[in-house]
Amino acid sequence: LGVLCDCSNHMTLALTVGRGPSPDIKHFGLLLRRALSKISIDTLLADAGYDAERSHVFARETCDVQSIIPPLVGRPTEALPTGKYRRLMVAHFDQDDCRDDYGQRWQVETLFSMLKRLLGSALTARSYLSQCRELRLKVIALNIMILLLFFYL
């Protein structure tokens, strides 16, 4: 399950399901396009699994979304990355404002915790398509639960 969520309220804005394990980065463009078709996004926080110049280029130049992704992928070296945006991340990631913004990325981990705690961590479906459907339904159910919580508070 790959999700793009709103850090302020834990609502899932876009999701993709598939059989893993697989690299996270292959879902980056799909998730961002799906979310942008429904809502405006100013800043995107992504974990190091999405660290690639093409992710930054897609987010910033194609979608006009500021991307903050820690520059951690690749072999450790003193040399700066060759890509424009990854070089920018290396230069600015340790600054307080960038770190503070990125500090909210853990909210997606809260979303996964809520999903597992409230709706269970196991799937009961047997076929691949049914498992995909079950994951989608769990995410929709969690979004409804979050909406009801805000409605009743």
Q: What is the DSSP string of 50-66?
A: G-SHHHHHIIIIIS--E
Distance (Å, whole) CA 28 – CA 131: 22
Q: Is the pLDDT of residue 74 over 70?
A: no
pTM: 0.85
Amino acid at 111: L
Predicted pLDDT at 82 = 81
Predicted pLDDT at 75 = 67
Distance of CA 141 to the CA centre of its chain: 19
Distance (Å, whole) CA 123 – CA 115: 12
Query: Which of these ranges, 1-10, 76-85, 127-136, has the smallest mean pLDDT?
Result: 76-85
Predicted pLDDT at 97 = 66
With residues binned 3-state (H G I as helix, E B as strand, rest as coil), the percentages for the chain, rounded to 5, are: 55, 10, 35
The mean pLDDT of the chain is 88
